[in-house]
């Protein structure tokens, strides 16, 4: 088993139109976010501007979880409210606008990837998968 720790203090923030993003992991490691050549990317972002337009990524599926508050947003003009720690799923090419400030967890997965699932748990889990990514995030300094 291979275990690696990715701490926020080791991440360099990048600017997006609504705040800052901290990239924890990109795979493969030779991939670059700007080139959009990754299989998956795990990050956390601050939403500091309201409203904020989310960056579009054609060919990717996105999981988002708010770590510190609820999120009022529109996905393709459909208004929704998501509670803290509720999983939000959408196509990265969708029109997404946030009307709430906060801190999120973000997992972007290439649509070429067969099966993927994000699950939030606070207990023991059984899992039969070839690859498991386990993250522990909070709105504090992780």
User: How far is Cα 39 from Cα 29, in angstroms, rounded to an integer?
Assistant: 10
Alpha helices in the chain (DSSP H): none
Residue 140: pLDDT over 60: no
pLDDT at position 142, please? 41
pTM, full prediction: 0.82
136 domain-assigned = no
Assigned token pair, 20: 């800052």
122 domain-assigned = no
131 domain-assigned = no
Interval 58-68 mean pLDDT: 93
139 domain-assigned = no
106 domain-assigned = yes
User: How far is Cα 53 from Cα 106, in angstroms, rounded to an integer?
Assistant: 15
66 domain-assigned = yes
Q: What is the CATH number of the domain that holds 83?
A: 2.60.120.10
Q: What is the mean pLDDT of the chain?
A: 86
């Amino acid at each position: 088993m291979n275990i690696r720790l990715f701490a926020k203090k080791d991440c360099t923030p990048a600017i997006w139109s609504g705040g800052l993003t901290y990239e924890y992991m990109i795979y493969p490691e030779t991939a670059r976010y700007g080139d959009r050549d990754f299989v998956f990317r795990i990050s956390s972002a601050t939403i500091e501007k309201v409203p904020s337009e989310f960056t579009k990524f054609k060919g990717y599926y996105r999981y988002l979880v708010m770590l510190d508050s609820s999120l009022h947003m529109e996905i393709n003009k459909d208004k929704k409210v998501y509670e803290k720690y509720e999983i939000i799923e959408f196509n990265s090419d969708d029109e997404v606008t946030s009307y709430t400030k906060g801190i999120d967890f973000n997992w972007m997965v290439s649509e070429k990837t067969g099966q993927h699932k994000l699950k939030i748990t606070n207990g023991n889990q059984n899992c039969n998968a070839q690859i498991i990514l386990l993250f522990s995030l909070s709105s504090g300094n992780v």
